[in-house]
Amino acid sequence: MKVKKIILIGPPGGGKGTQAKHLEAEYGTIQLSTGDILREAISSGSDLGKKVKDIIEGGGLVSDEIMIGLIKERLLSNDVKSGFILDGFPRTISQASALNDFLEENSMKLDAVLEINVPDELLIERITGRFSCDNCGQGYHDSFKLPKLEGICDECGGTVFTRRKDDNKETVKTRLEAYNKQTSPLISFYKKIGILSVIDGNQDIKLVTKCIKEVLDA
């Protein structure tokens, strides 16, 4: 099976993480999320990792230069030779251009850029309805997945549940506005290159996976 090199683009709550796990299992690729890469850099204790730690702990944003450096380093790792799924990168045109240059220099080529498209109204419902078991972390939802027995976790029997403080309507709206503003130029960028495919994320998870596989296996 051909090694797959993929970029996943999608809003918070759009299902990127879920689909990335399916793709990892199907194609043997490695999911590379920016959050994981930053945490790996910090835990490594390297000079760059210490710099990242200082920036994050100080409430700052990691610069394009640092983020691109970390991504380049990660893409040259041995475990990525089986393919990769970039999740959360690139976020800007400058990051996308730098990534393209790097891939060309290293004789790599993207197979697809997949935009998982979900209407804002549905995303707000998805995110604001989330809650989880305080004991084991099992996730639930007011509309889509309630515990089988009210107030009792299916997995561990716990009775205490929590919601993220930022999973409220106002905060989610702000996050989506920022995402849409930031991402629209990126969508145009990859559309011009001719490797963008838009996936309807407003359907059953298995159907979303099926649509993605149809694009990748074409």
Of 145, 163, 173, 175, which is the active-site residue?
175
Alpha carbon 166 to its chain centroid, in Å, reads 18
Q: What are the φ/ψ torsions at residue 32 (nearest 5 degrees)?
A: -120, 95
Question: Which residue of the set 4, 5, 16, 126 is catalytic?
Answer: 16
Catalytic pick from 21, 81, 109, 164?
Answer: 164
Q: Give which of 20, 26, 31 is closest to 205, Cα–Cα.
A: 20
Segments of the chain assigned E as strands: 4-9, 30-33, 83-87, 112-117, 130-133, 139-141, 161-162, 196-200
Query: Is cis: bond before 90, omega within 30 of 0?
Result: yes
- Distance (Å, whole) CA 68 – CA 74: 10
Q: Is residue 97 within 8 Å of residue 89, measured between CB atoms? A: no
Residue 130 falls in the annotated catalytic set: yes
Q: Tell me, yes or no, if 74 is annotated catalytic.
A: no
- Catalytic pick among 130, 145, 173, 191: 130
3-state secondary structure of 69: helix
Active site residue 39: no
10 vs 176: CA distance, rounded Å? 10
4 tagged catalytic: no
91 is catalytic: yes
Candidates 91, 145, 163, 191; catalytic one: 91
CA 87, CA 154: separation in Å to the nearest integer? 30
Residue numbers annotated as active site: 16, 91, 130, 164, 175
